[in-house]
Structure 1
Amino acid sequence: MDYERVRAVDPAVADALTAEVDRQRETLEMIASENHVSRAVLEAQGSALTNKYAEGYPGERYYAGCEHADEVEELAIERAQELWGAEHVNVQPHSGTQANMGVYLAMLDPGDKVLSLELSHGGHLSHGHPANFTGKTYEVEQYEVDPETGYIDYEGLDALAREFQPDIIVSGYSAYPREVDWERIQETAEAVDAYHLADIAHITGLVAAGVHSSPVGVADFVTGSTHKTIRAGRGGIIMTSEEHASAVDAAVFPGAQGGPLMHNIAGKAVGFKEALEPEFTEYAERVVADAKALGERLQERGFSLVSGGTDTHLVLVDLRESHPDTTGGDAERALEQVGIILNKNTVPGETRSPFNPSGIRAGTPALAARGFDEDASREVADLIYRVVDNHDDTDVKAEVAEDVKALCADFPLYEE
């Protein structure tokens, strides 16, 4: 990845691209929403399809010359249907948020009611935060996790739904480490005559591999990202029944977007093909096993985990008990200095600002992509403990930085 052609035209951008490859090679990526895709996906996303407008859908484009774009999009759709068992798939959304927008536009009117999980309890901006278009367009009420257990309070959700009478209930989360009971939420949705949107942005790969239960065929709509645990081209996806297919497609285009990013759809198609291979199931199983090992070792080191552990690809650490004077921002900055990249995060019952909250979120998808096993994940937990426990100690951080370099060398990324 020397970017020779870019360098000949624009050395400054080439320098930044090369530095980014080096950064990824030399650091441990633990932001739960990030991953390392294969070289094949990278090549597909950088393909000549970036030149092509293909407004519309396969066989019904508004421009000529779309026969190869059609082929690529049809492959992405067919592979997604096989991966998740969906009747209808739209692979054009530019992101998971755009996918959610497509569902809202298809099924709701401005002022309709949305019931979703509160952001600091693990929800997502596109589920109804007042700064997001959903919070500005719809009337939003939010449920929470149980403050004692950290699990979704399904009884509270049901009671709130019966009182609020939403038009749509949103499940699926951004910082929730436990398996979701899709059927339980669907029962509530049916009881109040609401649609059910399951946002599996973080766990698309885990669902595809069968290591997390699937909402496909349960919820009315399933949305997701295609670049997180599924390791495909960057973007979003909507899955639904044939009943809602036309409404969803019209909401995505021309409702929310113009021309699809065909080079990204090529990356989705290639990544989905990789996910259909047996090796992908092994990868997804490793993601979950690594997260469990990471969480268990962090607990042994005295950290408190929201919900007491994880069933998925992430752990959410609440620092208030073990390190009351250390904020999530303090921890994030200190860890970045040694080459461990994760993010500060709000926790249930948050009392600090979301810009400097009380927790950190750590994920294992990118570590598993490098081949990390459970022992290596425990070693990473030990390094996190050393840094957070001594975040102002430059000598400790220098020692940990060397350990991080050694791990990166043992589990190389994008070898030449």
Structure 2
Amino acid sequence: MPTDLSPVDDALADALDDERTRQRETLSLVASENYASEAVLAAQGSVLTNKYAEGSPGERYYGGCEHADAVERLAQERARELFGADHANVQPHSGTQANLAAYQALLDSGDTVLSLELRHGGHLSHGQPYTMVDEHFDVVHYGVDPETGRLDYDAVAARATETEPDLIVSGYSAYPRAVDWERMQTIAEDVGAYHVADIAHLTGLVAAGVHPSPVGVADLVTGSTHKTIRAGRGGMILCGEERADAVDTAVMPGCQGGPLMHNVAGKAAGFAEALTPAFDVYARQTVENAAALADRLQTRGFDLVSGGTDVHFALVDLRETHPELTGAAAEAALESVGLVANKQTVPGDHRSATVASGLRIGTPAITTRGFDAAATERLADALVDVLDAPDDEAVRDDARETVAELCRQFPVYDGGAVASA
């Protein structure tokens, strides 16, 4: 389906059509990326782009919001059903915006936040240097066990006792293991802290029941709505009724003005798809594909942080097996053959985040295309071949052909997998 911008803007139309082609002809292994369905794309490109709707459904600061109200209520109701939450705010523009609002709802400026260190798998919005969170709060960190690559909950508890935080953040950007939400909640309660669980990466897995849920455990749950759950791009906050007013006020006017109603419509469409049995199958396959990927990488001699995965990605540590290869160089080598992944720091990494010593390799997008474990293993072999010999053009040519065959076998858009997801 060509982008309908010509003759208004040929240059923009060409760029968007080129991007659609790029997505069809390459394989996304970025753990935070996915392919939205045509229904979600249509909702996000709808006439709701034109509508201001500051406030909540039924309590807007603008007239003409009756249909915007209906759309937002659908998104709220579907989010509550998916996650078993009493209250859902679907207005945050992103997962980061949801986190900012969560902190606004619970904390005062200068309070102490305890979160996972960035190089150990934390996220910028959890209070890393140079962020608003770091500017407004006293941020301290915990880490994973350097030997196992896993959270040591006793060590987290000791760090909480030492630092006496007002808030503990769990849920991560690059931690490939299941999180014990109940233990994190207990640690928070023992030191009199709030607990925010960030499921930005895990929304789809939690919704489908293939990863434990922090809803009803943590004080607030935040997340993105476009990663493993494939809904409209943005964020959300889930909570009990006792915190609903504080959350809503923190979102607007606390952190933002009017919601992006076209994105809220995309969330409603994606949540509807996530409520179907087919989505549960998809989520299970995403995790199975990640396990197959991890097993194949290890069989081929690569080190994985924590020795494997429980989630939708594997985290490769190149330092011992490929010491001459940085994460940035590995990312570039893979992209040259049509495999799009992202460099990633690993626990104990001495390289900067822009160079890094690892790769985060995810399966949400390829699973949306229809990959099973066998196809994932074939992809993993091509990936390993390239990383073992990144300067060998014959190896690259073979990998390009493998990628092209997999793209033809598992198409996306224009009749491909997500046309009617």
Q: Aligning the two structures, in what range does the TM-score lie when normalised by the shorter sequence?
A: over 0.9
2:234 equivalent in structure 1:
235
- Give the whole-Å Cα distance in 1 for the aligned partners of 2:392 and 2:270: 42
- Give the whole-Å Cα distance in 1 for the aligned partners of 2:384 and 2:399: 10
Kindly provide the CA deviation profile for residues 279-298 of structure 1, in whole angstroms up to 9, marking residues without a partner as x. 00000000000000001000
2:419 equivalent in structure 1:
none
2:55 equivalent in structure 1:
56
Deviation at 1:71, TM superposition (A): 0.2
Deviation at 1:395, TM superposition (A): 2.0
- Determine whether 1:387 maps to 2:386: yes
- Determine whether 1:309 maps to 2:308: yes
Kindly provide the CA deviation profile for residues 247-268 of structure 1, in whole angstroms up to 9, marking residues without a partner as x. 1101100111011000000000
Conserved in 1, the CA contact under 8 Å of 2:102 and 2:250? yes
* Alignment map for 1:155-194 (pairs within 5 Å): 155-194=154-193
1:378 equivalent in structure 2:
377
Deviation at 1:194, TM superposition (A): 0.5
2:76 equivalent in structure 1:
77
- Give the whole-Å Cα distance in 2 for the aligned partners of 1:84 and 1:222: 10
- Determine whether 1:2 maps to 2:6: no
Kindly provide the CA deviation profile for residues 223-281 of structure 1, in whole angstroms up to 9, marking residues without a partner as x. 00000000000000000111111111011001110110000000000000000000000
1:126 equivalent in structure 2:
125
- Give the whole-Å Cα distance in 2 for the aligned partners of 1:397 and 1:326: 16
Secondary structure of the equivalent of 1:141?
strand
- Give the whole-Å Cα distance in 2 for the aligned partners of 1:358 and 1:162: 32
Kindly provide the CA deviation profile for residues 364-416 of structure 1, in whole angstroms up to 9, marking residues without a partner as x. 00000000000000011101101101111122112211110110000000134
**What RMSD, in angstroms, separates the aligned Cα atoms of the two structures?**
0.6
Q: Return the letter of the residue paired with 1:3.
A: T
Kindly provide the CA deviation profile for residues 138-167 of structure 1, in whole angstroms up to 9, marking residues without a partner as x. 001100001111111111110010111100
Deviation at 1:44, TM superposition (A): 0.4
Conserved in 1, the CA contact under 8 Å of 2:343 and 2:355? yes
Kindly provide the CA deviation profile for residues 98-130 of structure 1, in whole angstroms up to 9, marking residues without a partner as x. 000001111111110000000000000000101
Kindly provide the CA deviation profile for residues 345-380 of structure 1, in whole angstroms up to 9, marking residues without a partner as x. 000000112111100000000000000000000011
* Alignment map for 1:175-324 (pairs within 5 Å): 175-324=174-323
- Give the whole-Å Cα distance in 2 for the aligned partners of 1:254 and 1:8: 40
**Matched residues, percent identical?**
64
Deviation at 1:8, TM superposition (A): 1.6
| Unaligned ranges ≥5, structure 1 | none
Q: Return the letter of the residue paired with 1:2.
A: P
- Give the whole-Å Cα distance in 1 for the aligned partners of 2:179 and 2:105: 25
Secondary structure of the equivalent of 2:238?
strand
TM-score of the superposed pair, with normalisation by structure 2: 0.98
* Alignment map for 1:291-370 (pairs within 5 Å): 291-370=290-369
Q: Once superposed, which parts of structure 1, at least 4 consecutive aligned residues long, lie more than 6 Å away?
A: none
- Give the whole-Å Cα distance in 1 for the aligned partners of 2:251 and 2:352: 34
Conserved in 1, the CA contact under 8 Å of 2:382 and 2:399? yes
* Alignment map for 1:21-32 (pairs within 5 Å): 21-32=20-31
Deviation at 1:93, TM superposition (A): 0.1
- Give the whole-Å Cα distance in 2 for the aligned partners of 1:47 and 1:171: 35
Q: Return the letter of the residue paired with 1:306.
A: V
Q: Return the letter of the residue paired with 1:98.
A: Q
- Give the whole-Å Cα distance in 2 for the aligned partners of 1:164 and 1:301: 42
